[in-house]
Structure 1
Amino acid sequence: MEKNKVKSIHDYGQSIWLDFIDRKIMDTGELQKLITEDGVRGVTSNPAIFEKAISSSSDYDADIRELSQEQENNEALFYSLAVRDIKRAADLFKPVFEEEVRGADGYISLEVSPHLARDTKGTIRQARQLWKAVDRENVMIKIPGTPEGIPAIRTCISEGININVTLLFSLDRYKEVAEAYIAGLEERVNANKPIAGIASVASFFLSRIDVLIDPQLKEKGLDQLQGEVAIASAKKAYQLYKEIFGSERFKKLEAKGARPQRLLWASTSSKNPAFSDTKYVEALIGPNTINTIPLETLEAFRDHGKLGNTLEQNLDKAEQVLAQLKQAGIDLDAVTHQLEVEGIEKFNKPYDHLLEAIGLQRKKALAAGNS
């Protein structure tokens, strides 16, 4: 019998995390099945995922009624709901976390409010609150890699909080994020605090790059580069990762128990129907990396995905793609800046819808309680 293709990705040193969470997937045992049969090794969540989970089902109604009496506003109520789900998922993944190489995987990610993307102090404050509330060592708090997020990442790492840096598009910003992680670890060392056990990932958003840049390529007659820029950027990022975390500076930290901040490929579902639905999984399989994928992409790869150690293949081609982009007058820095701005807005909208939906259910619950 052929081995499960999703599970086989781990043979190449890459971990598959699920970019989805709701109560139904835990209640039905489906999440446990994905862990056991597909080798899923972690979960990422975001405001859009929670908005869909809470707004489209009655699974949270009883909790909303209960918490409406306790929580002073809709945001506090949402995080109370989210923390319950995150704790439960973290406990499900604890056996993965406790495997022989302890802490290699088994992490669940919970994001700070997207409205804090430009607020360093607010981000630090909420990251601390969420870290304390979930009270699980196999949880990561998601902080966006905005200019304001960088010092927040450094501070949180220095305080021993696991961080998933989200919303990364550019190589220059990735270097800043890696620097913030290393500097945060160095602060702990200088304060005589342990650094073993602290985990972090840097989440590169891929398909959104191609969605924005491909129409520009078409206009310039560079159709052959469509769907290639995000993958080329990711391959370049991996070379930077090896350079940064293979440096003498990091080796000093490694000797004290530090782990590299792994690259995580996010936004890996194909947005263009002309592309293979497994494109952004197949092209970036390689050691010490993570790919977080929605259920549909996971099922597609299980069915017809192609396995291979592809992350370091065709590196010359990746360089050529980025060089051709520059020659054509397409400013990748401008594109990635636009994506960062739009990415914040894309998380703000579902977050606001989520709080509105919770507000409506909260009013009903309070009205029922007072009748």
Structure 2
Amino acid sequence: MNRLQAVHALGQSLWLDYIRRDLLAGGGLRRLIEQDAITGLTSNPAIFEKAIGGSSDYDAALRALVESGVQEPAELFERLAIEDIRLAADEFRKVYDQTRAADGYVSLEVSPRLAHDADGTIAQARRLWQAVGRDNLMIKVPGTPAGVAAIRTLIGEGINVNVTLLFSREAYRAVAEAYIDGIEQWTQRGEGNRVASVASFFVSRIDAALDAEIERRIAAGEGDAARLRALLGKIAIANARLAYQDYKALYATPRWQKLAQQHRARPQRLLWASTGTKNPQYRDTLYVEELIGLDTVDTVPPATLDAFRDHGEARSLLEHALGDAQKVFDEIAALNLPFAASVERLVAEGVQLFVDADDKLLAAVAKKRDAIAA
């Protein structure tokens, strides 16, 4: 059993935060599934921008589409992405079947331009769900207020959803309530227990934002330097650990227990996102190691996956030192650190980063299309 398999044995699913045609066609994904117990995959506009714009892997497929008459960059990208997602979903189908639909999912994101448009999100999610045509697909929807409304409708229709860009416990709880509302709608349709969802709770970006504010205050002589310094690299993990306690409380309620017992409904698992370490002073496997816990998912970029396979420590630490996690937030309040404002800004920045990646992606596709036409 290698280190990645050991994480799986502790009850956490590891999903790959990466997609590219050569990984799918060359057998690389299959090896990760068989040798490292990788049980799912996530994608986003930034990942596709690097895959399509930064390689020649898609040139032949793109040429065939252009020569068949497809010209719009958005449609060209969607055709390429759908093919990748289908290939990945087919690779994970065995996992999906063996776990009785508990795992083995592949995620495709709605346009980031729809982050504040509930109706547009619902319409595109329905279309992508039909176009991909795989039971183990998850449609990624941002956890904005508009996204929350969309989640309720999509789950109620039996469409699997990966809710992304969650940074605060309040946002997570709103998403979890929307999921439970949707499950109640779904069970009223008498459709069984197939629908599934994860709530993607972001980690390292929180430390990057709050650490910068702490360092600024220390440098400016604002506040107690020792108390501020003690919070460096601690806030994101504390936030995630307390969110997991929220998860346990939500799914222990009589309302949920009725759904679970009468309809075999599955909880919406917490998924740790942004688990690659951004601060070079921190251990490169820090966020993976500290958040291993039962019935959770960690979506891991390739570099972090390789690092953990090499030297990660597989221990169940998600519920470790919960008192310390609460003390971190007591200190945030006492020191008047702008946690709420920071996570609100991170949501807006996260949406914009994906819009920017989408712009680059469509520009790269258009450039390749023009080269083919010439």
Query: Any residues of structure 2 matched to 1:303-318 within 5 Å, and which?
Result: 303-318=310-325
Amino acid at match of 1:253: L
Tell me the number of residue pairs that the alignment of Structure 1 and Structure 2 aligns: 363
Q: 2:353 aligns to what?
A: 346
Amino acid at match of 2:304: T
Which secondary structure does the structure 2 equivalent of 1:298 belong to? helix
**Which structure 1 segments of 5+ residues have no match?**
none
- The answer to whether residue 83 in structure 2 is matched with residue 76 in structure 1 is no
Q: TM-score, normalised by structure 1?
A: 0.96
Over residues 109-163 of structure 1, what are the superposed CA-to-partner deviations in whole Å (9 max), with x where a residue is unaligned?
0000111111111100100010001100011000000011110011100110000
Q: 2:254 aligns to what?
A: 248
Q: 1:5 aligns to what?
A: 3
How far does residue 195 in structure 1 lie from its aligned partner after superposition?
A: 4.1
**Which structure 2 segments of 5+ residues have no match?**
218-222
How far does residue 224 in structure 1 lie from its aligned partner after superposition?
A: 1.6
Q: What is the alpha-carbon root mean square deviation over aligned residues?
A: 1.0
**Residue range with higher mean Cα deviation, 352-361 or 68-77:** 68-77
Tell me if the contact between 2:71 and 2:369 (Cα under 8 Å) persists in the aligned partners.
no
How far does residue 28 in structure 1 lie from its aligned partner after superposition?
A: 2.0
- The answer to whether residue 129 in structure 2 is matched with residue 131 in structure 1 is yes
Change (3 A) 1:195 1:152: farther
Q: Separation in 2 of the partners of 1:327 and 1:138?
A: 45
Amino acid at match of 1:77: L
Amino acid at match of 2:110: V
Q: 1:161 aligns to what?
A: 159
Q: Separation in 1 of the partners of 2:53 and 2:10?
A: 38
Q: 1:208 aligns to what?
A: 205
Over residues 254-306 of structure 1, what are the superposed CA-to-partner deviations in whole Å (9 max), with x where a residue is unaligned?
12021000000000000000000000000001000000001110111111111
Query: Any residues of structure 2 matched to 1:213-224 within 5 Å, and which?
Result: 213-218=210-215, 219=217, 220=223, 221=225, 222-224=228-230
- The answer to whether residue 100 in structure 2 is matched with residue 94 in structure 1 is no
- The answer to whether residue 300 in structure 2 is matched with residue 301 in structure 1 is no
Tell me if the contact between 1:197 and 1:257 (Cα under 8 Å) persists in the aligned partners.
no
Identity %: 50
Tell me if the contact between 1:7 and 1:39 (Cα under 8 Å) persists in the aligned partners.
yes
Q: 1:44 aligns to what?
A: 42
Q: 2:23 aligns to what?
A: 25
How far does residue 74 in structure 1 lie from its aligned partner after superposition?
A: 1.1
Q: 2:220 aligns to what?
A: none
Q: TM-score, normalised by structure 2?
A: 0.95
How far does residue 333 in structure 1 lie from its aligned partner after superposition?
A: 1.3
Over residues 227-263 of structure 1, what are the superposed CA-to-partner deviations in whole Å (9 max), with x where a residue is unaligned?
1111001001000000111111011111202100000
**4+ residue runs of structure 1 moved beyond 2 angstroms?**
68-72, 364-367
Tell me if the contact between 1:47 and 1:347 (Cα under 8 Å) persists in the aligned partners.
yes
Which secondary structure does the structure 1 equivalent of 2:140 belong to? strand
Over residues 76-122 of structure 1, what are the superposed CA-to-partner deviations in whole Å (9 max), with x where a residue is unaligned?
111110000000000001111111x3112110000001111111111
**Residue range with higher mean Cα deviation, 127-136 or 68-77:** 68-77
Tell me if the contact between 1:164 and 1:201 (Cα under 8 Å) persists in the aligned partners.
yes
Q: Separation in 2 of the partners of 1:116 and 1:70?
A: 27
- The answer to whether residue 365 in structure 2 is matched with residue 333 in structure 1 is no
How far does residue 30 in structure 1 lie from its aligned partner after superposition?
A: 1.3
**Residue range with higher mean Cα deviation, 14-23 or 324-333:** 324-333
